[in-house]
Structures are given as C-alpha cells and as structure tokens.
C-alpha cells in the first residue's frame, strides 16, 4: 500500500485547500430575512462544484457565474473539488444574491483571502461574468435583520447602498467589482464606509403613484366629498358611473391627499417593494403613498401574492396606499373573492409546507364600475340598451359579502358640457389634504398608541366608545338599518364612516347630520 502524501511539503495552495471557509449571508422569505451561513470547502479530488442546502435553480446556476467572475477578475479558479453548503439546510435558498459570498468563500478557501472565518460581515450580491456586482432584491429586510442580529458590517452592491443606508447602526461597504469585495471583506476596517445619510420621509426620497391634483376635476362634488371621507378614515370606496365621468381620474388623485408616511410605514413600504424587485437602482426610502392599478386580467396569485417562494402581490404593494380596481365587475369572480380576508385583517398569510409568509396589506380600496353593461343606465344624454336581466347579471359579478365590505358606494354621474367648459379650477388637493390631516390628527389623539390608527380599523370596545350616538342618531340608524336591510358588518361600517365625517367637521360626538351622510353612501344600487 502506498504511503500517504506529505502535505507539509506541498505548495501553499495545497495546504489552503484543506481549510474550510465560512461567511455570513441572508435570504428573504416573504418580507423577512433569514440568516444563512455559506460554507465553502475546496478539497483534493476530481474537479467538481457541488452545492447543497436546498438551493433553487437560480442559486445552482451561480456555479457558472462564479467561475467566470473569478477568472475574469484576475484570480485563479481552483481545479479541485468544491463543496458549498448553505445553512440552515431546511430553508430553501433562492435568488442570485449568493453569488458574491460563494465567490469570496472560494477565494478564502484557496488562500487568496487572508480571513477564512468571516463572522462579522454580511455579504450579498449578484455577479456578472466579468466580475461586476449587480443589485440584489430584499436588501432592506436583510439590513434590518443584520442590525437585529448585531452584525456590524454589510457588504453589498453599490446600487443598493442608498436602500441599506436607511437602517442606522450599520457599517455599509458598497462594492462594484469582485476585487473591491475581496478588499472590503479581508480588511473592512481599512475601507471607508459609504457616507450616505438616512432619508427622512418628509424630506426626500423615492415617491410612488401617478400624482395629479383634484383641481383638474370638474364637477363631481359628491364623489370628491366621498373620496375625502375615504382618505380621512381609510375607508373603501366604490364609484358607480358611466364611462368618461371621471372615476379613474379622481381615484388616481386619492393618494395625493393622504397623510405623509411615517418612518415606520415608509420602512414597511420600502421593504415590500425591495423584496418585489421594484426599487430602481440607487433608490432609498419610499416616501410617497403607493398607488396600484392592476388590469382586470390579473390572476388571484398576482393580486394576493404567492408562488413556490411567496412574493408580495398587488394588495401588499399597495400597503399604506391605494389599490384601484377599474371596471371591477370585469375581474374574475375568484380574483375578487380573495380580497375578503385582507380587507378585514390588513394582511395576507400564505402557507407553504416548510413555513408561512405573512405580507402586510393595509390599503384603501377604490373600485369603479359602470351602472350596467353598456354604461349608460340613468344617463340623461344617452339611452341604456340593457335589459333588466343583463343589468342584474352584471351587478351580481360583485358578490354581496364583498360589496358589504365597501364602506362608501357613490354615484358618479356624467359631467354636463357647461361644467366641462368652465375654466374655473376645482378645489385643490392641498386644501383637501389639510382637512384630511386635521381629521387624522384627531384620530391619533383619540387612539393614542393603540392598534387602530384610523377609523376604518375600529373594532369591538374601541368602536363602541368612539361611535356613541345621541337618541336622535340612534333612531335614524335603526330606521336606516330596517329600510336598507343592513347586515351587522354594514351597520358597523356606517358608524365608522359617520365617525370620520364627524372628525372632518371637528365634532367630538356623532350627530344626526353626520350619520345621515354616512347612510346615504349605502343607498346607491
């Protein structure tokens, strides 16, 4: 039997391949980051590249990207057996953000990096074949998780530096090339961190939504008032009117009258858009209220979220903002029914075999529909061609339970030509926003630090305390309940809308006129 080889006389690289290199990285499941330890072993044997630890196809493909990036960066790729383990092994790994830690682990096991046990640096980034580092998804949740875990340093793509800079108490080392990453990981104290100030929501940052001013809207006093009530209390709205009456125009301006995002709300919105890959390179904190308007051909999974590795859907992308469903009856019935739970709970729970993902989904729903299939039922200028059966079938596409969850149902008639030709602008978004902010401040003073932050979220005892009625209001509500056949849910929603109307009027108690206005928003059929 041959003697064992004398490794002490082997060249330095041969000695290095017997050393295990470890780095810290992270993966994202839902909107939460999970720590991942990248272990790289380069050992003698037939050349090969094995990856274990539940990697998906995008992670397994990193073998070719890492090999080319190392060679094109001027380093030698080891002609030996390479084993990469992504721990914990029971968590599925997805995405190309493991390219950079895997490449650095190979270089560390090969002796190019002086450090082999790198436990004070979190590394994420996708590699190009030439060694350039591309931006990654979910950097903000990873940065938040690193701060909670006490990890002081984060090495990431330069395009994600502004996003990670939102999180304080972290040393952020942006890198653009694999050679830069080698220097940052080998000697992080010798590399100047990115001098990027955290962005405050009220000052600057990246905004979402189409914008526009309510001053552009002509007429539609009732619909504008309903949208103001919706903005003040976070209520859901259904706009019913003929084509061209301004439903889409007004809905697209609702986000502009909502209060500015608080820092916590902005962090949640930015995290969701980061996980979804919707943040442009170099974007920092999202400061504007989201406005999402999916097409009616959307699937239920795209609306609510899902997938093998769950990703946020449109309801989560509209978190703390506005979800607009134009031509609501044209959406598939199954798609509309999945809205029931997030409208009530403000979150979406997607269960998989291994674990669950919870996506926040606290949004204001604005839906629009025509009064009939042709769109001109009740119009004074054009005759409706639809039969009563066609009208009933069209309206039945929105189920009773879903319609019951809509706080305000508003008729939006066609605008007469003299109003359109009048050059006088309507009330501006700034004026409406001032009243909305005042109403929100009253709600904050009433609720304090408790869970309900707007009237639309009132439940149980807090609602009974905030929505007390005088005898006249009680009689009015009882009569409306009997005449309109209101369900228990609709009864509570009328109270919550009346509370918002009272807040807009600066009243401490709900009076009969406030309740009468709230009741009329349930009468449109």
Residue 313, pLDDT > 60, answer: yes
Q: What is the pLDDT of residues 200-236, one digit of tens each?
A: 444 334 455 566 889 888 888 899 999 999 999 999 9
The reply to whether 427 falls in a domain is: yes
Q: Are residues 260 and 337 in the same domain?
A: yes
The reply to whether 201 falls in a domain is: no
C-alpha angle with apex 447: 442 to 452, nearest 5 degrees? 110
Place of tokens 């984060």: 154
Q: Are residues 446 and 482 in the same domain?
A: no
pTM (2 decimals)? 0.86
Average pLDDT over residues 168-197: 82
The reply to whether 199 falls in a domain is: no
pLDDT at residue 483 in the model? 86
The reply to whether 168 falls in a domain is: yes
Q: Are residues 437 and 479 in the same domain?
A: no
Number of domains in the chain: 3
Q: Are residues 411 and 501 in the same domain?
A: no
pLDDT at residue 354 in the model? 66
Report d(CA 349, CA 359) in Å as an integer: 6
| SS3 call for 410 | strand
Give the structural domain span for 443.
214-370+406-452
Q: Are residues 130 and 158 in the same domain?
A: yes
Q: What is the pLDDT of residues 3-57, one digit of tens each?
A: 434 434 444 444 444 568 999 999 988 888 989 999 999 888 788 899 999 898 8
The reply to whether 208 falls in a domain is: no
Q: Are residues 119 and 219 in the same domain?
A: no
Tell me if 101 sits within 8 A of 25, measured CB to CB: yes
Residue 412, pLDDT > 50, answer: yes
Q: What is the pLDDT of residues 280-299, one digit of tens each?
A: 877 778 888 999 999 999 99
The reply to whether 83 falls in a domain is: yes
Residue 165, pLDDT > 80, answer: yes
pLDDT at residue 205 in the model? 44
- Those residues whose C-beta lies under 8 Å from the C-beta of residue 292, and which sit 6 or more positions away, are 314, 317, 318, 321, 322, 323, 324
Q: Are residues 25 and 170 in the same domain?
A: yes
Q: Are residues 336 and 412 in the same domain?
A: yes
Exposed (0-12), middle (13-18) or buried (19+): which is 125, by Cβ within 10 Å?
buried
Place of tokens 């029931």: 340
Residue 483 phi/psi, 5° resolution?
Answer: -75, -40
Q: What is the CATH number of the domain that holds 414?
A: 3.40.50.300
- Omega of the bond prior to 515 within 30 degrees of 0, cis? no
Note the helical H segments in 399-487.
Answer: 400-404, 417-421, 429-447, 460-466, 471-484
Q: Are residues 50 and 98 in the same domain?
A: yes
Say which range, 90-94, 99-103, 205-209, 500-504, has the weakest mean pLDDT.
Answer: 205-209
Q: Are residues 30 and 99 in the same domain?
A: yes
Q: What is the CATH number of the domain that holds 20?
A: 3.30.230.10
Q: Are residues 281 and 429 in the same domain?
A: yes
Question: What is the DSSP secondary structure assignment for residue 262, as one 8-state letter?
Answer: P
Tell which residue, 330, 306, 326, has the closest CA to residue 316. 306
Tell which residue, 472, 251, 210, 470, has the closest CA to residue 368. 251
Q: What is the pLDDT of residues 500-514, one digit of tens each?
A: 999 999 988 898 899
pLDDT at residue 29 in the model? 86
The reply to whether 203 falls in a domain is: no
Tell me if 17 sits within 8 A of 109, measured CB to CB: yes
Q: Are residues 171 and 223 in the same domain?
A: no
Question: How many CB atoms are located within 10 Å of the residue 173 CB?
Answer: 24
The reply to whether 42 falls in a domain is: yes
Question: What is the DSSP secondary structure assignment for residue 280, as one 8-state letter?
Answer: P
Tell which residue, 204, 298, 220, has the closest CA to residue 253. 220
Tell me if 524 sits within 8 A of 503, measured CB to CB: no
């Amino acid at each position: 039997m041959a003697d064992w080889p004398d490794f002490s006389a082997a060249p330095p690289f041969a000695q290095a391949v017997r050393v295990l290199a470890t780095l810290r990285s992270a993966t994202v499941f839902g909107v939460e980051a999970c720590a991942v330890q990248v272990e790289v072993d380069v050992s003698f044997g037939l050349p090969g590249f094995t990856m274990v630890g539940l990697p998906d196809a995008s992670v397994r493909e990193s073998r070719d990207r890492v090999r080319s990036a190392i060679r094109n960066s001027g380093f030698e790729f080891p002609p030996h057996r390479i084993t990469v383990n992504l721990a914990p092994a029971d968590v599925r790994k997805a995405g190309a953000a493991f390219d950079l830690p895997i490449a650095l682990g190979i270089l560390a096991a090969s002796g190019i990096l002086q450090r082999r046990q790198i436990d004070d640096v979190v590394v994420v980034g996708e590699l190009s074949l030439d060694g350039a580092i591309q931006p990654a998804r979910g950097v903000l949740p990873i940065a938040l998780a690193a701060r909670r875990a006490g990890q002081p340093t984060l090495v990431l793509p330069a395009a994600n530096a502004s996003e990670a800079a939102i999180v304080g108490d972290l040393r952020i080392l942006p890198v653009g090339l694999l050679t830069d990453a080698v220097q940052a990981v080998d000697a992080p104290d010798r590399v100047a961190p990115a001098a990027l100030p955290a962005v405050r929501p009220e000052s600057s940052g990246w905004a979402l939504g189409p914008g526009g001013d309510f001053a552009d809207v002509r007429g539609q006093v009732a619909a504008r008032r309903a949208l103001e009530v919706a903005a003040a209390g976070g209520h859901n709205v259904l706009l019913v009117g003929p084509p061209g009456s301004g439903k889409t125009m007004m809905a697209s301006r609702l986000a502009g009258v909502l209060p500015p995002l608080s820092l916590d709300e902005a962090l949640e919105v930015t995290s969701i858009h980061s996980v979804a890959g919707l943040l442009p390179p170099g974007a920092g904190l999202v400061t504007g209220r989201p406005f999402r308007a999916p097409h009616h051909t959307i699937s239920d999974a795209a609306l609510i979220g899902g997938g093998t590795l769950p990703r946020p859907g449109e309801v989560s992308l509209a978190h703390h903002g506005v979800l607009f469903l134009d031509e609501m009856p044209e959406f598939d019935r199954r798609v509309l029914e999945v809205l029931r739970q997030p409208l009530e709970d403000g979150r979406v729970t997607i269960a998989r075999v291994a674990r669950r993902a919870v996506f926040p989904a606290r949004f204001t729903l604005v839906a629009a529909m025509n009064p009939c299939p042709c769109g001109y039922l009740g119009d004074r200028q054009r005759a409706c061609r639809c039969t009563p059966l066609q009208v009933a079938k069209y309206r039945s596409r929105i189920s009773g339970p879903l319609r019951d969850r809509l706080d305000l149902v508003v008729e939006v008639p066609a605008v007469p030509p003299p109003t359109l030709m009048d050059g006088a602008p309507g009330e501006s978004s700034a004026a409406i926003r001032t009243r909305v902010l005042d109403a929100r401040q009253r709600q904050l003073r009433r609720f304090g630090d408790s869970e309900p932050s707007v009237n639309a979220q009132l439940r149980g005892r807090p609602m009974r305390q905030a929505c007390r009625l005088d005898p006249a209001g009680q009689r009015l509500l009882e009569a409306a309940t009997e005449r309109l056949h209101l369900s228990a849910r609709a009864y509570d929603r009328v109270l919550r809308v009346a509370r918002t109307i009272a807040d807009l009027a600066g009243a401490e108690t709900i009076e009969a006129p406030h309740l009468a206005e709230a009741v009329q928003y349930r009468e449109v059929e």
